[in-house]
Amino acid sequence: MTKKKVLFICTHNSARSQMGEGYLNARYGDKYEAFSAGTEVTSVNPYAIKVMGEIGVDISGHRSKKIDEFFGVEMDILVTVCDSAKGACPMFPWAKEKIHAGFIDPSSAKGSEEEILSFFRNIRDEITEFIDVKFGRE
């Protein structure tokens, strides 16, 4: 069985798309091969690394990648996880299917360490639930 290729796209490729890539590969890696990229390159957010580690998904080795790295690479499914990246997707004609699932940017969280972690956990849980519903039944 050939794995379907899935590309998660977000603006900075630092949190939401990284969490999507990591979770899909960890949970459904027998059916899917996930990647992530951004319209801009930054670094993987340490809070994203921490909250994914809490559920047994290690994304500490991930790096932020620009969508340009995937130009010309055929993908079965392209998932935009933020509204600004959704606008960039018409420039990615190599995806057979495009899905938009907008999530709030956890990097905007303010407050104490625990408040920020709580915000990241909520977004992580929304993303993993979306993946479980969309990809777990296929």
Structure tokens at 85: 């990246």
d(CA 103, CA 123): 7
Contact 38, 64 (CB under 8 A): yes
d(CA 100, CA 78): 8
The catalytic residues are 10, 82, 89
d(CA 66, CA 11): 9
d(CA 8, CA 80): 6
